[in-house]
Chains A and B, each alone.
Chain A
Amino acid sequence: AQKVTQAQTEISVVEKEDVTLDCVYETRDTTYYLFWYKQPPSGELVFLIRRNSFDEQNEISGRYSWNFQKSTSSFNFTITASQVVDSAVYFCALSEEETSGSRLTFGEGTQLTVNP
């Protein structure tokens, strides 16, 4: 069975600090997909990134970067120079090849608060 763990329930930082959100996953599949979603205070779920298990390249998009390490089953998310607008709940999620897009397993979520 697949499982995603986000051990950090809440993180509070001051604006302009860098912050890393941790995500650890478990799966028996060799092919799987990892995702990050953002849930701002308004409540909707915003897709941020997907990564497949064969692509271990780290990715950077503006102030956001993701570090995928199969050796430690982790897919961590770093926000550089955080801003108040980054305040949200962030979810890491996993889907396996067998169930593909039909089943996403989510972590518990990390509430990030960026204070001015």
Chain B
Amino acid sequence: EAQVTQNPRYLITVTGKKLTVTCSQNMNHEYMSWYRQDPGLGLRQIYYSMNVEVTDKGDVPEGYKVSRKEKRNFPLILESPSPNQTSLYFCASSSPRGNTEAFFGQGTRLTVV
């Protein structure tokens, strides 16, 4: 089954404690992205990757890091989480063609206290 898998689904952490949210896809997609969803703001892109070792900033990259060492994995790293990073996070993958939809993971609800 084609899918994007994120872990964990829920996470409560404390300010400043480094964390990683993993994302893996089994569709051999070149493109992967991270978005955050906040009430009234929709989804905003954090980082994206167009291929292995190729990453770029999206609209809201501050406070986040990513890496793309393998095609299937695209982890999101919060080196020093802060309460304003409390959000619902989605990983997505897609093929390079613009007319194909992005496939989304099930989401990770992160709370930073």
A108 and B58 contacting across the interface, CB-CB below 8 Å: no
List chain A residues, Cβ under 8 A from B97.
100-101
Q: Identify the stretch in B12-20, B39-47, B61-69 within 8 Å (CB) of chain A at 4 or more residues.
A: B39-47
Closest to A36 in B: B101
- 13 A–B contact pairs at CB < 8 A? A4-B42, A6-B42, A37-B104, A43-B106, A47-B101, A50-B99, A100-B31, A101-B31, A101-B100, A102-B33, A102-B49, A104-B43, A108-B41
List chain A residues, Cβ under 8 A from B41.
108
A35 and B45 contacting across the interface, CB-CB below 8 Å: no
Given contacts A91-B43, A93-B43, 20 further A-B pairs with CB under 8 A are A6-B42, A9-B40, A43-B106, A44-B106, A47-B101, A50-B100, A50-B101, A52-B98, A91-B42, A100-B96, A100-B97, A101-B94, A101-B97, A101-B98, A102-B48, A104-B33, A104-B35, A106-B35, A106-B42, A106-B44
Interface residues of B in 90-112 (CB under 8 A from A): 90, 92, 94-104, 106-107, 109
A102-B31, A106-B43, A108-B41 known; A33+B102 contact, CB < 8 A: no
Nearest Cβ in chain A — how far from B14, in angstroms? Answer: 24
Interface residues of A in 97-116 (CB under 8 A from B): 97, 99-109
A100 and B98 contacting across the interface, CB-CB below 8 Å: yes
Count contacts between A and B, CB distance < 8 Å.
73
Closest to A111 in B: B39
In this complex, the interface size class of chain B, counting residues with CB under 8 Å from chain A, is: 20 to 34
Interface residues of B in 69-104 (CB under 8 A from A): 88, 90, 92, 94-104
CA distance A102 to B35 in the complex (A): 11
Q: Is B52 an interface residue (CB 8 A)?
A: no
B107 and A97 contacting across the interface, CB-CB below 8 Å: no
CA distance A103 to B45 in the complex (A): 7
Closest to A47 in B: B101
List chain B residues, Cβ under 8 A from A93.
43
